[in-house]
Amino acid sequence: MNISNQHRRKIAICGAGIAGVSAGFYLSRILPDVDITLIDKNQPVSLTSSKSGENFRDYWPHQSMTSLSHRSIELMQDLQDEFGEAAFALEFSGYHFISHKTEPIFTNENSTAFRKHNLVDQDAFSIHESHPYLDPDISKSVFIKNAGHVDSITMANLMLADAKKRGLHCLQKEIINLSQTSQGYAVQCHDKSIIEADQIIICAGPFINHLAKMLDLSFPVWNTIQRKFIIPDLEQVIPRDMPFTIYVDGQTLVWSEEERNLVQASKELKWMAEPFPGAIHIKPESGDRIKLGWAFSSEEVSPSWTIGTFDYFPQVVLKGASRFIPGLKQYEEDVPAPLIEYGGHYTRTKENWPLIGPTDLDNVYVIGALAGFGTMTACAAGELCARYIAQESLPDYAAYFHPGRYADPQMQLVLDSLTIDGQL
Ligand SMILES: Cc1cc2nc3c(=O)[nH]c(=O)nc-3n(C[C@H](O)[C@H](O)[C@H](O)COP(=O)(O)OP(=O)(O)OC[C@H]3O[C@@H](n4cnc5c(N)ncnc54)[C@H](O)[C@@H]3O)c2cc1C
């Protein structure tokens, strides 16, 4: 063993999704003299992080989430400046929120500050003129400018390659136990190897509580499964330059009387007759294809490594989407092939804010509960965790995401005052 390495601090990052990769990257920059090991059962960014729609935006109902996303977008831009524009795609193509109603979509949308950065239109005629693919009765359009699409897998691989140059070490192993030792912590892997560490970061995505439990910790999170699918747009319903478009209205799907009777009489299908939340989203994909998603599932599940398909998901989403893009109706009965369908977990807290920072156990940190915003906030989340570990000054938003916030009376007041659950 190299004597000069004997006293180097060792940090083990448990999980190499986008959160673990980002933590490793920023730690390797802030603390270049620390030994960092990034451990994952699989290839980096291959679980939830590979299922992301890769959309980003800095508009959120609460300022803390806006600040976290804003910082993350800044960091992604910094990475592009550093690695070059061609290194990974970061497109500011916007988010287009639409509604059949004229009520505000965002509480502050009439403020001068909001209108300075975003575009609001509530003249159905002019909306239809500039977006002829939309239903002519769409009466509200809000275009968020600081938003778009990032090739997050390429970005994560760049961050990883860069951190490796500074000594970050990657191991492909399953962690089967974490324990405290007289010197620090021991990470025990499936092949019986043990990695010793002074500090641990739990970044295990949907499995954060599996790892937490090994240390007698528990995080107030749960998992749901959310899905997307991609189909060819055979009839070119969606313009290739359409921004990421989100229909905010909740709805009950439109069925013929015969269909409705059938659906309601079936135990397996009757969910299709229930009211659905808003936020169906759609965007053009490469190769004349379109990608659609609708995070309507609220069923709590135990995390799993593989996720099967869900009967009728594409048909239900296309039916819901044809409410605001009528041209999609033709795909509902005869879904164009090839259909690519996939899903992953949203791991979330009650208020849908992430957990980033120190836990109840000394030298154990967490980045988790990144739900449907982990791609867009990963850089800022990794940076924030690295700043905690390096004992550097923290940004204002840190307190809102501190894992111990539920025991802080002041933060509890903030949490109690929230009126919406923050689901995307
Ligand atoms: C369908 C879908 C669409 C989404 N779209 C967007 C979007 O448009 N924009 C956005 O910002 N976010 C989006 N998200 C959310 C985003 O993908 C996640 O928040 C993010 O990927 C979570 O990253 P993570 O690193 O926390 O978790 P993960 O990517 O799940 O990484 C956790 C890692 O831990 C490893 N691990 C777990 N247990 C062990 C163990 N015992 N031993 C070793 N390794 C272990 C896993 O193998 C995994 O690699 C979407 C999510 C889904 C499901």
- Residue 344 Cβ inside 6 Å of ligand 1? The answer reads yes
Q: Nearest to residue 160, comparing CAs of 326, 8, 28?
A: 28
3: confidence class by pLDDT, cuts 50, 70, 90: very low
Q: What is the pLDDT of residue 108?
A: 85
Which atom of ligand 1 sits closest to the CA of residue 343? 1
Whether 382 has a pLDDT exceeding 60, the answer reads yes
| In the chain, domain spans | 3-89+151-220+350-416, 222-348
Whether 5 has a pLDDT exceeding 60, the answer reads no
- Residue 16 Cβ inside 6 Å of ligand 1? The answer reads yes
DSSP 124: H
Q: How far is the CA of 205 from the centre of ligand 1 (A)?
A: 5
Q: How far is the CA of 17 from the centre of ligand 1 (A)?
A: 6
Whether 265 has a pLDDT exceeding 70, the answer reads yes
Quickly list DSSP for 6-46. TT--EEEEE--SHHHHHHHHHHHHH-TTSEEEEEESSSTT-
Cis status of the peptide bond prior to 338, with omega within 30 of 0: yes
User: Which residue has the CA at smallest separation from atom 49 of ligand 1?
Assistant: 17
Which atom of ligand 1 sits closest to the CA of residue 305? 47
Q: How far is the CA of 47 from the centre of ligand 1 (A)?
A: 6
Q: What is the pLDDT of residue 421?
A: 61
Q: What is the pLDDT of residue 242?
A: 96
- Residue 48 Cβ inside 6 Å of ligand 1? The answer reads yes
- Residue 209 Cβ inside 6 Å of ligand 1? The answer reads no
- Residue 376 Cβ inside 6 Å of ligand 1? The answer reads yes
Q: What is the pLDDT of residue 6?
A: 61
422: confidence class by pLDDT, cuts 50, 70, 90: low
Q: Compute the average pLDDT of residues 367-385.
A: 98
- Residue 187 Cβ inside 6 Å of ligand 1? The answer reads no
User: Which residue has the CA at smallest separation from atom 20 of ligand 1?
Assistant: 374
Which atom of ligand 1 sits closest to the CA of residue 347? 19
Query: Is residue 14 exposed (0-12), middle (13-18) or buried (19+ Cβ within 10 Å)?
Result: buried
Domain 3-89+151-220+350-416 has CATH 3.50.50.60: yes
Q: How far is the CA of 363 from the centre of ligand 1 (A)?
A: 23
Q: How far is the CA of 15 from the centre of ligand 1 (A)?
A: 9
Which atom of ligand 1 sits closest to the CA of residue 205? 27
| 13-57 pLDDT tens trace | 999 999 999 999 999 999 999 999 999 999 999 999 999 999 999
Whether 385 and 201 have beta carbons less than 8 Å apart is answered as: yes
Q: Which of 91, 202, 219, 370 to mutate to test the pocket of ligand 1 (most atoms within 8 A of CB)?
A: 370
Mean of the per-residue pLDDT values of the chain? 95
Q: How far is the CA of 356 from the centre of ligand 1 (A)?
A: 15
Whether 274 has a pLDDT exceeding 70, the answer reads yes
Rg (CA), the chain: 23
Whether 16 and 44 have beta carbons less than 8 Å apart is answered as: yes
- Residue 224 Cβ inside 6 Å of ligand 1? The answer reads no
Count, residues in the chain: 424
Poorest-pLDDT segment among 186-190, 255-259, 327-331:
255-259
- Residue 354 Cβ inside 6 Å of ligand 1? The answer reads no
| 175-205 pLDDT tens trace | 999 999 999 999 999 999 999 999 999 999 9
Element (H, E) at 169: strand 169-172
Q: What is the pLDDT of residue 2?
A: 44
Q: Which residue has the higher pLDDT, 81 or 422?
A: 81
Q: Compute the average pLDDT of residues 289-294.
A: 97
- Residue 373 Cβ inside 6 Å of ligand 1? The answer reads yes
